[in-house]
Amino acid sequence: MENKIEISDLQVHYGDKSALNGISFDVHPNEILSIIGPAQSGKTTLLKVINRTLEFTPEATVQGSVKLDGVDIDTIGDVYELRRRIGMVLPLPVGLPLSIYDNVAFAPRTAGLRTKSELDEIVERCLQQAALWDEVKDRLNTLGTKLSGGQQQRLTIARALSHQPEVLCLDEFSIAIDPVTTMRIEDVLKTLQTEMTILLVTNLVQQAKRLANRTAFFLNGDLIEIDTTDVIFSDNPANQATYDYVNGTFG
């Protein structure tokens, strides 16, 4: 089975400070890979490398290679096309200054889709998947920035799904969402697994345990351990630090 993403010897520096020190691992197609680890361990930086938004940080330098479907992402000429293939949910929910409908229809429209019926269908499907449809279906034309924090976060999830990405990266998607709604979204993620590969960065260790097929543990820019979730959460993972973090001894 060919790997969806291959990362080899990836190093990222912010100026003199090292954020990722030469990590290598593969992401299998149609798996949920959760990435856990304390703050400053390079989780978000990794996601930014994958969709090449790290390029907006001028002081960041990247070495090593990231391959998507066997193609090095640095050689992809149309970076916007690359970003459309990767759905990204950022931890800070930012509503575009557009209506709720236009927020979700933004990505399909930038990709060139203009048919009203198709857009309607996408908007309804994505908002339902993000567990937001019932709350906003009567006011799709109000401004997306007027929603509450948790609703905006679900709106960003709906936006990330709207361009039917091959890889969905979720960075702390549930920090502002209540537990019940989080469970609904987690169920959706499990069903979406058949269509796409999911990278889940989370501070909630239990969420990783519930959802992920495999789990990677990052610490201070190093990949300490990557294995099936059962092994990581068992009594004897390969590294003691993993056991300590997962069981709450530190972190």
C-alpha to C-alpha distance for 119 and 109, rounded to whole angstroms: 8
Q: Is 59 in the site for other proteins (CB under 8 A)?
A: no
Residue 65, CA atoms < 13 Å, CB-side half-sphere: 11
C-alpha to C-alpha distance for 168 and 145, rounded to whole angstroms: 23
Cβ-based nearer residue to other proteins, 80 or 187: 80
Q: Is 43 in the site for other proteins (CB under 8 A)?
A: no
Cβ-based nearer residue to other proteins, 60 or 231: 60
The alpha-carbon radius of gyration of the chain (Å, integer) is 18
Q: Is 176 in the site for other proteins (CB under 8 A)?
A: no
The CA-atom distances, in angstroms, between 215 and each of 19, 46, 53, 104, 239 are: 20, 15, 24, 30, 13
Q: Is 90 in the site for other proteins (CB under 8 A)?
A: yes
Q: Is 97 in the site for other proteins (CB under 8 A)?
A: yes
Q: Which of 88, 167, 205, 246 binds other proteins (CB under 8 A)?
A: 88
Cβ-based nearer residue to other proteins, 170 or 223: 170
Q: Give me the helix-helix angle, 100-110 and 116-129, nearest 10°.
A: 120
Name the 3-class secondary structure at 159. helix
Q: Is 153 in the site for other proteins (CB under 8 A)?
A: no
Instruction: Please state, as a whole number, how many other Cβ atoms lie within 10 Å of the Cβ of residue 11.
Output: 15
Cβ-based nearer residue to other proteins, 41 or 156: 156
Cβ-based nearer residue to other proteins, 50 or 219: 50
Q: Is 156 in the site for other proteins (CB under 8 A)?
A: yes
Instruction: Please state, as a whole number, how many other Cβ atoms lie within 10 Å of the Cβ of residue 54.
Output: 19
Q: Which of 8, 63, 70, 111 binds other proteins (CB under 8 A)?
A: 111
- Report whether 213 contacts 32 (CB < 8 A): yes
Cβ-based nearer residue to other proteins, 77 or 179: 77
Q: What are phi and psi of 224, to 5 degrees?
A: -75, -45
Binding site for other proteins (CB under 8 A): 51, 53, 55-58, 74, 77-81, 83-84, 86-88, 90, 92-98, 106-107, 110-111, 145, 149, 152, 156, 159-160, 162-163
